[in-house]
Amino acid sequence: MTPNPFTIHNLPYGIVSTEDNPRPYQAIAYKEFAIDVGTLETHGVFDDIPDYRSGVLNKPSWNAFASLPSHTRLAFRQKLKTYLESTAPNLSDHTIFTPLTQCTMHLPMHTSNYSDFYCSYEHAKNCSDIFGFPISQGWYHLPQVYNGRTSSLAVSGTPITRPCGIFPLEPGAQPTFQAETKLDFELEIGVWIGNPVPRGQRLNVANAKEHIFGLTLLNDWSARQIQFFEMQPLGPFHSKGSLTSVSPWIVPVEALEEVAACPRSYEQYPPVLPHLSWPGAEDRATWDVHVEATLIRDGISYTLSQSNLNELHWTPLQQVTHLGSAGEGLSAGDCFGTGTISSSRGNEKGEKIGLSCIWERQLENARMQSLPDDLHETLLKDGDEVVMSAWCKGQNGEIVFGFGECRGVVMPAPELKEYQK
């Protein structure tokens, strides 16, 4: 049985509504329940928190709360833990605790800016090999990133309608406007900004953590035919713009302290510039988050990928530092994807289980026997569902908490005849 991801060690932030309470409100997941924290506030549970502002728990998003200083958010979390652990609250009090099965989930924050990184060495190397180019020089000096479409963000469960765009069916053929024939997923983590950075100021990697509110799963649905026809030289646009799915519960950055970890198994080379260099030992420079993607096709589950956030070449803390380093500022609710979390790991048969999109599996020795034979040719078919999950484990491999799920089903492209006339 899958363990419950929402243990006392997690307490993630979400926005829910129910049939009885259709106005979206702020909730925290605990065991099988969503806790209405706005109501808890009226019971005095969060009284006497330094630098707290009342009203931040009465909104349809977590932005105002996320903007509070990190010590205030930590004190809030401690008060909530004390309430749940010491006062043995009545979980059948439905004014506070609603079964998660009765909740409709919404995007947890209002987002002004969405960007997506390209920071897995394995992914960059495989994409470069497919196109026969070396990884660019810049990739080794900075975490490469493009600005995506904020409007693509959608909460887990939102179906993806197969995107349409302009591309040739075969190399050299006449490009036409048509439904994507190579739809892919990308397994990523979403990073959500809390405490803002004003325009003109910049971060150092050593204090970047204070500006992160928390993490979710993120699926950067990718239309590969559209992408590789449109991408040079300005970057991806429609290929990534139709949908970016995120899991509904933001795992607090404070919860991740338990799984602070060393990044990758090698040192970054050439040496990174001072503002991106983690001071001292790297043992708390990233987080140990096991990530996984599953394909459900015709009722059968296939493991697509297993990887870990700590295997990225550039860490989320280096990414957030780079994101604001030109002095453009960061706002509460801004979100970025870490980039596809591909890794070089093998499964017990030596197959590349760490590849976190299907596109990379066209390379020699990159297929897995356990996946459908034609997957690397067809990529995702209509009706396929991609389910992502993430888990944080303790020293003995026991699960401490999880991220929940990020799901999406592929729906057929719309009828295009009228548009193509």
Ligand X SMILES: O=C(O)/C=C/C(=O)CC(=O)CC(=O)O
Query: Could you give the residue numbers annotated as active site?
Result: 123
Separation between Cα atoms, residue 114 and residue 237, nearest integer Å = 13
Which x/- pattern, by CB under 5 A, does the window 28-67 give for Mg ion? ----------x-----------------------------
Q: Residue 21 corresponds to which amino acid?
A: N
Say which entry of ligand X, Mg ion, Ca ion, none residue 184 contacts (CB below 5 to 8 A, set by partner kind): none
Give phi and psi for 375, each to the nearest 5: -60, -45
Maximal CA-CA distance, the chain? 69
Q: Among 377, 401, 400, 405, which residue's Cα sits nearest to residue 389?
A: 405
Contacted entry of ligand X, Ca ion, Mg ion, none for residue 118, CB cut-off 5 to 8 Å set by kind: ligand X
Which C-beta is closer to ligand X: that of 6 or that of 118? Answer: 118
**How would you classify the pairing of strands 244-246 and 153-155?**
parallel
- Asked if residue 25 binds Mg ion (CB under 5 A), the reply is yes
Q: Which does 65 bind (CB under 5 to 8 A by kind): Mg ion, Ca ion, ligand X, none?
A: none
- Calpha distance 251→265 (Å, rounded): 25
Query: Cβ 130 to ligand X, closest distance in Å?
Result: 7
CB 261 → Ca ion: shortest distance, Å?
22
CB of 413 to Ca ion, least distance (A): 21
Of 116 and 122, which CB lies nearer to Ca ion in the complex structure?
A: 116
What are the contacts of 138-141 at 24+ separation with CB within 8 A? 140/268, 140/269, 140/270, 141/270, 141/272, 141/273
Residues 6+ apart with CB under 8 A from 240: 116, 148, 149, 152, 220, 221, 222, 223, 227
| Beta carbon nearer to Mg ion, 39 or 178 | 39
Burial class (CB in 10 A: 0-12, 13-18, 19+), 56: buried
In the bound complex, what is the minimum distance in angstroms from residue 339's beta carbon to Ca ion?
5
Q: Residue 11's CB: how many other CB atoms inside 10 A?
A: 23
Amino acid at 417: K
- Least Å distance, CB 276 to Ca ion, is 21
Site residue total, ligand X (CB under 6 A): 11
In the region spanning residues 123 to 182, those forming contacts with ligand X, defined by CB under 6 A, are 123, 127
Closer residue to ligand X, CB minimum distance, 36 or 186: 186
Residue 118 engages ligand X in binding (rule: CB under 6 A): yes
The residue among 27 and 218 lying less far from Mg ion, judged by its C-beta, is 27
Tokens at 43, concatenated: 């019971």
Residue in the structure block whose two tokens are 């057929």: 412
* Distance from C-alpha of 246 to C-alpha of 105, rounded to nearest angstrom: 11
> Residue 76 corresponds to which tokens in the numbers above?
């809030």
- What one-character DSSP code corresponds to residue 295? E
| Amino acid identity for residue 353 in this structure | I
Give the nearer residue to ligand X in terms of CB position, either 29 or 312. 312
Residue pair 327/200 in contact (Cβ under 8 Å)? The answer is yes
Choosing from 36, 186, 292, 311, the residue that interacts with Ca ion (CB under 5 A) is: 186
Type of residue found at 408 = G
Site string for ligand X, 63-102 (x = CB under 6 A): ----------------------------------------
Q: Closest Cα partner for 85 from 9, 29, 27, 4?
A: 9
38 binds, among Ca ion, ligand X, Mg ion, none (CB under 5 to 8 A by kind): Mg ion
The site partner of 236 among Ca ion, ligand X, Mg ion, none (C-beta below 5 to 8 Å per kind) is ligand X
| Choice from 184, 220, 230, 311 touching Ca ion (CB under 5 A) | 220
Q: Which two tokens stand for residue 184?
A: 């892919």
Identified binder of ligand X from the candidate list 190, 236, 324, 404, rule CB under 6 A = 236
Q: Which of 247, 318, 340, 389 binds ligand X (CB under 6 A)?
A: 340
Instruction: Choose between 12 and 236: whose C-beta lies nearer to ligand X.
Output: 236
Residues that bind Ca ion (CB under 5 A): 116, 186, 220
Residues that bind ligand X (CB under 6 A): 116, 118, 120, 123, 127, 186, 220, 222, 236, 339-340
